[in-house]
Amino acid sequence: MARQEDEGKMERYFGDVVTTATTFAILILLVFIGYSVFGREKSKRWHWGRRSAFVLVYGLFVCCLAAARDGLDRTIQNAIDASCASGLFPLVSVPTIIGCIGAAAVIIAAIATPIAKTQSVRRTWFYIMSSAVVLKILVVEIARLVC
């Protein structure tokens, strides 16, 4: 019984191509954020604006993969006309609400970063953007484990 549960959990992260790609993409994003926050003194080549641009573009890619993995398109279609089964999460749920709030924070930080005059302000916006991304990842992945 425990072996079946372990296989079911592994399938949530490596069950098919989209799920596996999403898992690895999330890990790459988290490693980049962690390296930027904790190893920033080692590499000064990437300024905070470039780091923010990477988190924005690559984070959008990861978000699209996660939405495809969790069936967000089916959830929206189901809410519109019920022509298909819903995805993993209901339209009004903690993961989707936190996802929208996190996306708004990322957009605000993405707009504010190029306007910022100094690297310290850009670093602050990077931290805000990264925190929103990490929060979104944590909420969705914990909700996937609970479901």
| Per-domain residue ranges of the chain | 2-146
Please list the alpha-helical segments (H only) found in the chain.
2-14, 17-38, 48-70, 72-81, 94-115, 119-146
The set of residues, in sequence order, having a beta carbon less than 8 Å from that of 112 and lying 6+ positions away, is 125
Per-residue confidence (pLDDT) for residue 62, from 0 to 100? 96
Per-residue confidence (pLDDT) for residue 43, from 0 to 100? 60
Look at residue 101 and tell me whether its pLDDT is greater than 60.
yes
Residues of the chain with pLDDT > 90, as a percent, come to 69
pLDDT, the chain, mean: 90
Per-residue DSSP letter, 23? H
Give me the mean pLDDT over the 53-73 stretch: 94
The pLDDT tens digits of the residues spanning 14-60 come to: 889 999 999 999 999 999 999 999 886 666 667 899 999 999 999 99
Identity (one letter) of the amino acid at 79? A
Give me the mean pLDDT over the 79-96 stretch: 91
Look at residue 2 and tell me whether its pLDDT is greater than 70.
no
